[in-house]
Structure 1
Amino acid sequence: MKVLSLFANIGVAEAYLSQIGVEVAVANELIDRRANLYSQIYPETQMICGDITNNTVYTDIINAAKQTDIDVIMATPPCQGISRAGKQHKNDVRNLLILPVIDAIKDLKPKYVFIENVPQFMETYIEVAGSDVLITDYIKSELAGDYDISVNLIDTKNYGVPQTRQRTIILMTRKDICRKWDIPEPSDSLVSLEDAIGNLPPLDPFVKDVSEDELLALFPEYYLKLDAARQVSPWHFPPEHIKRQVITMIHTPTGKTAFDNEKYVPIKADGKPVRGYKSTYRRLRWCDPASTVTMDNRKISSQNNVHPGHYLGTDDNGDVLYSDARALSLFELMRVMSLPDDWPLPHDANSAFVRSIIGEGIPPMFVKRVFENII
């Protein structure tokens, strides 16, 4: 089974497909940096880098897909103009990127189509021929004659992924194909954060605004822990934080926000208390799947990013102490996204870049489960 992947980014969604006999034969990505990294991870895929709305690029994509006789189009158009995490401008041109996807479906007539986006995709209008129309209604009006179309709202935590991540999934089956593509049945049990990362070595945060002596005074085992973590994965190392944020998280229990601390509240550089949502400065819970991974996943001050930690006891003042006062490492994020431990990420990949990209992706374990339904 051969796939054309549109808006492929660095290929997070594709991570398991080759294991189940699915070949991503052709991929398209707009941004050079992403396309280059994709090609390093998936060297056998023909990557066409460029703007799909450009006629030359679009033609190259269609011709390559025809030459390889693709069976499936998988499209994950950008969500920044739609997602509640973005500005949700009605006229964001990225919302119109569904149009070349529809054109590609008409030109290639694949057996199956997989379209993924944020939940708000089902509520978003675009302007077509001077009229506002829901994206999902427009898809049906253009393609329902040739395809059976199902629009689904799912949460990836119900499909073996240790992360709560709601998505709109549109599956299409060409009407002459007898096996209809449906969303798989949800799992009976959830994969918790402890299941996913509980066996990984602990890490102390790297505190960037102190000297090395001060760092070791705070965390005497910093380098011992870092060495142990590196034995597991070169991507298991702590992000950088500032001391005042680290201190407040040291005294914040598992599953709690530092805003609930009576003594060690989050403070600004001038010593004044930080004002923010209680979803920030918050430790995750071991017993649940992780919260939705966002692009801004390096910061303690962003939403639901902090490692759950372990209770260490109390200090000389009787204040409680918890380990891992940091955001998740890149390797922990990879596991939360259900990426395989041996995903061939090049050793020289920029970790900050990869972290942000992971926050855009769809967990590949879910994609695998969906594709298994038509294998």
Structure 2
Amino acid sequence: MKAISLFSSAGIGELFLKNIGIDIIASNELIKKRSDCYKFFYPETEVIQGDIRDDKVKREIIKKIDPSVKLLIATPPCQGLSTLGKNKLQNHLVLDPRNYLIYNTLEVIDAGNFDYILIENVARFLDMYFPYKSDLFDVNLLTLEDILNKKYGNSYNIEAKVLNAKDYGISQTRPRAIIKLFKKGLKWAWPEIEPEIPLKDSIGHLPSLESGEKSDILWHEAKEHNPRAVLALKHTPTGKSALKNELHYPKKENGERIKGFHNTFKRMSWDEPAHARTTYCGSISSHNNVHPGRKLNDGTYSDARVLTLLETFIVSSIPETIKFPDWANESFIRTVIGECVPPLMLQKILSKIGQ
């Protein structure tokens, strides 16, 4: 099945689609570095780099749609307004052009004749409200699901759910909003829920590493962290935050105690999947980023560090032997992983087309 991908980032989420017979013939990404990485992974795909709001870029994308292209994959930016804020400063929000980015996806849908459309984003995407113009003078605030039903409900079945990667063979808690559109008369089932995979089963076999240490295993190198944070986390048990320590707690250079949320400077638990790998997954002070660690003979805990790239790949269902362009540094790699849907999750969702 031929497909087009919009808002593609570096293409991490699409790594397994060829395994199920999906051929992305064209993709669109705004940022050049991400589109360059996409080209590295998929040299046969035509990558249209640029802003989809630019009419020239949009025309290039639409030119790639022919009758053989049956699938559209889109992760439009998640600007919009939350349910709590939908009545605040409404006039300003209606005038904010970022809240209309979703409609560029709808223009591509209108230009094609897709059998199947997948729209994916953060879980709260389903609760957001978007300005919808039914005519020039009438602007309403509607959820995306309501907008899709207004525009396409006569032609497409439209189903929306929040799925969590941990329920589909991935050792990571990562809820994602999934909206499926498929033509009346066609089938597209939801994937079956599977048992969770705790960290002890996914990365427990890998050797311990301390801050700045390297191993002989590809991608298994520990980031070097601030010594004050490392000391605090050496005295932090599995599943706990260093902010709760009475003596060894995170400190500023002047010795002042650092304050933060209960899930910052926090170790993960061996008996649970990893927490969501965000674009900040390389920061030891960010949310739920620290390796679970193991208690040592002296009473301290090992692995006072974030997950290595290898461990991050494993809990994100990315191949352990993956190669990136030579120019891609660790920060870039972590960022594009944080932006993507885990590739095994996307594969399982799309493999249900026709069932």
**For the Cα contact (< 8 Å) 2:163–2:178, is it kept in 1?**
yes
**Secondary structure of 2:297's match?**
strand
**Secondary structure of 2:353's match?**
coil
1:174-212 deviation per Cα after TM superposition (whole angstroms, max 9, x unaligned): 1243xx11221211x111112221122221102xxxxxx
- Structure 1: which amino acid aligns with 2:159? S
1:90-109 deviation per Cα after TM superposition (whole angstroms, max 9, x unaligned): 56544422211112112112
**For the Cα contact (< 8 Å) 1:82–1:120, is it kept in 2?**
no
Could you tell me which of 201, 210, 220 is aligned with 1:204?
A: 210
Aligned position for 1:192: 198
Aligned position for 2:111: 107
Aligned position for 2:314: 335
Separation (CA, whole Å) in 1 of partners of 2:99 and 2:33: 22
Structure 1 residues 361, 243: CA separation in 2 closer, same or farther (over 3 Å shift)?
A: same
Aligned position for 2:46: 46
Separation (CA, whole Å) in 2 of partners of 1:58 and 1:132: 25
Aligned position for 2:136: none
* CA-CA distance at 1:127 after TM superposition: 1.4
- Structure 2: which amino acid aligns with 1:160? G
Aligned position for 2:122: 118
User: Which has the larger displacement, 365-374 or 90-99?
Assistant: 90-99
Q: Superposition pairs for residues 297-312 of structure 1, below 5 Å?
A: 297-312=281-296
**Secondary structure of 2:191's match?**
coil
TM-score calculated relative to the size of structure 2: 0.91
* CA-CA distance at 1:56 after TM superposition: 1.1
**Secondary structure of 1:121's match?**
helix
Separation (CA, whole Å) in 2 of partners of 1:80 and 1:258: 34
* CA-CA distance at 1:82 after TM superposition: 6.3
**For the Cα contact (< 8 Å) 1:182–1:373, is it kept in 2?**
yes
Structure 1 residues 296, 181: CA separation in 2 closer, same or farther (over 3 Å shift)?
A: same
**For the Cα contact (< 8 Å) 1:15–1:343, is it kept in 2?**
no
Could you tell me which of 232, 250, 253 is aligned with 2:217?
A: 232
Q: Superposition pairs for residues 52-63 of structure 1, below 5 Å?
A: 52-63=52-63
* CA-CA distance at 1:276 after TM superposition: 1.0
RMSD over aligned Cα, in angstroms?
A: 2.0
Equivalent residues, number:
341
Q: Does 1:289 align with 2:273?
A: yes
Separation (CA, whole Å) in 2 of partners of 1:9 and 1:368: 17
Report % sequence identity.
Answer: 38
* CA-CA distance at 1:342 after TM superposition: 2.8
- Name stretches of at least 5 consecutive residues in structure 1 with no aligned partner: 207-221, 315-319
**For the Cα contact (< 8 Å) 1:4–1:26, is it kept in 2?**
yes
Q: Does 1:165 align with 2:171?
A: no
Aligned position for 2:351: 372
**For the Cα contact (< 8 Å) 1:83–1:118, is it kept in 2?**
no
Separation (CA, whole Å) in 1 of partners of 2:42 and 2:82: 28
**Secondary structure of 1:201's match?**
coil
1:141-181 deviation per Cα after TM superposition (whole angstroms, max 9, x unaligned): 1111111000111111111111111111001111243xx11
Could you tell me which of 330, 337, 345 is aligned with 1:351?
A: 330
Q: Does 1:72 align with 2:71?
A: yes
**Secondary structure of 2:5's match?**
strand
* CA-CA distance at 1:358 after TM superposition: 1.1
Could you tell me which of 256, 260, 277 is aligned with 1:276?
A: 260
- Name stretches of at least 5 consecutive residues in structure 2 with no aligned partner: 134-138
